[in-house]
């Protein structure tokens, strides 16, 4: 790494800022990347990776084992930053574990040039995200499920979904909509919200409709999702096959190793529990 120069010499924070610039240039979400982040980089050895265009023009990043045969599949639903480098790495992690992982670009209609990962203006980011209404997102999820079912390398009856932040909420909603899904993993996704004029529903509203068991993974220090909401959701899920694990010391985004909120211990434990959840439900 090049050494920065200034009259009083190079300081540690200079190198941290340089590291942040490197990560942004590598494709990590510019808005929330930590200055000193050391994100996990999963190799693509033994994998087939790249972008696919699904029916309707829906772009999707796919990572899958190169080995012949049919593999279980998981839809990876992004945060509000779109399909940036961290989401691609999550797909490679799943692929190295034997899954076909696909991350649809749910925001492509409002962001056709895929600028979201480079943006630092949060209101502008939110404006793009707001264009992806629930029914559109559910339609894109159905398109993705249909695409997976048609692929010779996919075990069509072994399909799961997982998502982060915005995508965590979408995971709950998809699990309540699509019987094709056998399991879900919702990472710190919002549980309730304003229904608005369209009468939108949220995860707390669809507990009785869940068609696949969802494992919720939440942080006790999450300022956007109060523990009271998590406990209320846990109470609604009581007696069902779905459940929530609350990590008391974890913040929002605790799996995202490029963010300041990354919690290595909680992230590792939750990732292992998610894979076990998928396996226990035949995915």
**Count of domains for the chain:** 1
User: Which residues carry out catalysis?
Assistant: 165, 222, 252
- Residue 10 falls within a domain, yes or no? no
Q: Domain of 266: which CATH number?
A: 3.40.50.1820
Residue 6 pLDDT grade (very low, low, confident, very high; cuts 50, 70, 90): very low
Q: Quick check: 2 pLDDT over 70?
A: no
- Residue 5 falls within a domain, yes or no? no
Range of the domain at 229: 15-280
Q: Quick check: 204 pLDDT over 70?
A: yes
Residue 232 pLDDT grade (very low, low, confident, very high; cuts 50, 70, 90): very high
Q: Could you read off the pLDDT of 90-109 as tens digits, one per residue?
A: 999 999 999 999 999 999 99
267, 258 Cβ separation under 8 angstroms: no
pLDDT at site 120: 92
Q: Quick check: 12 pLDDT over 70?
A: no
- Residue 197 falls within a domain, yes or no? yes
- Residue 65 falls within a domain, yes or no? yes
pLDDT at site 35: 85
Place of tokens 């995508």: 167
Cα–Cα distance, 145 to 40 (Å, whole number): 28
- Residue 141 falls within a domain, yes or no? yes
- Residue 92 falls within a domain, yes or no? yes
More confident: 124 or 9: 124
Q: Quick check: 14 pLDDT over 90?
A: no
Residue 194 pLDDT grade (very low, low, confident, very high; cuts 50, 70, 90): confident
Q: Quick check: 53 pLDDT over 50?
A: yes
Cα–Cα distance, 209 to 138 (Å, whole number): 15
DSSP the chain: -PPP--TT---HHHHHHHHHHHHHHTT--TTT--TT--------TTEEEEEEEEGGGEEEEEEEESSSS-EEEEEEE--TT-S-HHHHHHHHHHHHTT-EEEEE-TTTTT-TT--GGG---HHHHHHHHHTS-HHHHHHHHHHHHHHHHT-TTEEEEEEEEEEETHHHHHHHHHHTT-TTEEEEEEES-------TTTT---GGG-GGG-SS-EEEEEETT-SSS-HHHHHHHHHHHTTSS-EEEEETT--TTTT-TTSTT--HHHHHHHHHHHHHHHHHTT-
- Residue 78 falls within a domain, yes or no? yes
Residue 197 pLDDT grade (very low, low, confident, very high; cuts 50, 70, 90): confident
């Amino acid at each position: 790494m090049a050494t920065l120069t200034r009259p009083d010499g190079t300081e540690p924070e200079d190198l941290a800022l340089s590291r942040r610039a490197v990560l942004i240039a590598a494709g990590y979400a510019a808005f929330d990347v930590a200055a000193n982040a050391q994100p996990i980089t999963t190799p693509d050895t033994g994998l087939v990776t790249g972008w696919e265009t699904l029916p309707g023009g829906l772009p999707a990043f796919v990572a899958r084992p190169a080995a012949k045969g049919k593999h279980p599949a998981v839809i990876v639903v992004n945060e509000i930053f779109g399909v940036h480098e961290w989401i691609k790495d999550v797909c490679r992690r799943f692929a190295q574990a034997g899954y076909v992982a696909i991350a649809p670009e749910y925001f492509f209609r409002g962001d056709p040039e895929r600028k979201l990962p480079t943006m630092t203006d949060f209101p502008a980011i939110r404006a793009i995200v707001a264009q992806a209404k629930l029914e559109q997102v559910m339609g894109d999820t159905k398109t993705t499920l249909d695409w997976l079912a048609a692929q010779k390398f996919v075990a069509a009856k072994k399909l799961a979904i997982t998502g982060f932040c915005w995508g965590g909420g979408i995971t709950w909603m998809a699990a309540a909509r699509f019987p094709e899904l056998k399991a879900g993993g919702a990472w710190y996704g919002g549980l309730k919200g304003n229904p608005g004029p369209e009468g939108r529903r949220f995860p707390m509203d669809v507990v009785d409709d869940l068609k696949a068991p969802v494992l919720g993974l939440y942080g006790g220090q999450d300022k956007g999702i109060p523990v009271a909401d998590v406990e209320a959701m846990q109470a609604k899920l009581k007696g069902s096959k779905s459940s929530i694990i609350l990590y008391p010391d974890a913040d929002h985004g605790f799996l995202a190793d490029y963010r300041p909120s990354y919690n290595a211990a909680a992230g590792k434990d939750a990732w292992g529990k998610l894979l076990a959840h998928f396996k226990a439900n035949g995915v």
